[in-house]
Amino acid sequence: MMDSAKILKRARDVLDIEAQGILSQIDRLDDNFVRAVELLFNCKGKVVVTGLGKSGLIGRKIAATLSSTGTPSLFLHAGEGIHGDLGMIMKGDVILAVSNSGETDELLMLAPIIRRLGLKLIVMTGNPNSTLSRAADVMINAAVKEEACPMGLSPTASTTAALAIGDALAVVLLEKKGFKEEDFALRHPGGTLGRKLFLRVDDLMHRNAELPVVHEDTPMKDTLLEITSKRLGVTGVVDSRGELVGVITDGDLRRGLEGKGDIFRFKAKELMSRNPKTIPADALAARAVALMEEHSITSLFVLEGSGQRPTGLVHLHDLLKAGIV
């Protein structure tokens, strides 16, 4: 019978074993890893990741990570591969086989066919002396000292290590390819992640008749009407050239009432906050959130091109409604 203390101890032991399994890969990385990266980087087709069982599940995740980070990839189930699915492999592809034992029958059956097709084979395995390792063009040694499973039977630390090496391959490749945030956004248009990476300020900003703007000589009575009628809690203040020189927010009004009393005696330029924070229309909406958080503000004016003319305004409420925050 395991009490709470024994449960926690065993769980921590498992995490420690798996962590050590990953850490052991750091010093083991060598020129074979570099060669694997070069093969994947220079691949003219797609990367086909294959495996079976738990290694197959890891391979499926590696293929997904590669695809989402700029390296076209798909997963081939080794068992299905020897029964017709090899048809998805084309000239110019590179094969990445994941097998802890390196003796998986289905993969061994695939190896000579891969060779006959003239394709390069990368093998990630925990057994560098295996049959599959000898058939590889490049072998990545992913061995671990022990599995977290007390019987040493269920793949645990070995699959964790393989997954980490797969991530290392993907991240090195995306940096080597110059993969940018915009590229990532194009591959993730859906869900919260897609909105954060795909939506731009231009998609959300208020413009034209919705844009609150007054001239710097506008009396505060009319300025207040502009703020209240546009219902954004702010107005931009422009000079005679139509360039943004300041903003007046609800906070500025409160501070004016506290410090100056009758604010209706003043013009907009006398109560405005100068040097307002702005953002380009083509900036990611997520960047607008970051700027607002950094400066503790709730809105940003959008300027026209490289000039100072305001063409829009994005508010925190718009970002919340769009699911960016």
CA angle at residue 314 from 268 to 259, to 5 degrees? 30
Question: Nearest Cα to 122, choosing from 220, 50, 211, 222?
Answer: 50
Helix or strand (DSSP H, E) at 38: helix 31-41
Helix or strand or coil: residue 226? Answer: helix
Predicted confidence at residue 188, as pLDDT, reads 67
pLDDT of residue 21: 94
Are 211 and 236 within 8 A, CB to CB?
A: yes
Measured in degrees and rounded to the nearest 5, phi and psi for residue 216 equal -65, -20
CB 49 within 8 A of CB 63: yes
Read off the pLDDT band of 128 (50, 70, 90). very high
Q: Which fold has domain 201-321?
A: CBS-domain (3.10.580)
pLDDT in tens, 13-22: 999 999 999 9
- How large is the average pLDDT for residues 192-212? 84
The tokens for 77 are 């189930």
Lowest mean pLDDT among 172-181, 187-196, 308-317: 187-196
- Does 190 have pLDDT greater than 70? no
Is 305's pLDDT higher than 80? no
Rounded to an integer, what distance in angstroms lies between the CA atom of residue 142 and that of residue 253? 64
Domain 4-179 has CATH 3.40.1160.10: no
Residues of the chain with CATH 3.10.580.10: 201-321
Question: Which residues of the chain form CATH 3.40.50.10490?
Answer: 4-179
Residue 215 has pLDDT above 80, yes or no: yes
* pLDDT, averaged across the chain: 91
pLDDT, tens digit (0-9, with 9 covering 90-100), for 233-281: 999 999 999 999 999 998 888 888 887 788 888 899 998 999 999 999 9
Q: What is the pLDDT of residue 255?
A: 87
Report the pLDDT value the prediction gives residue 151, as an integer from 0 to 100.
Answer: 83
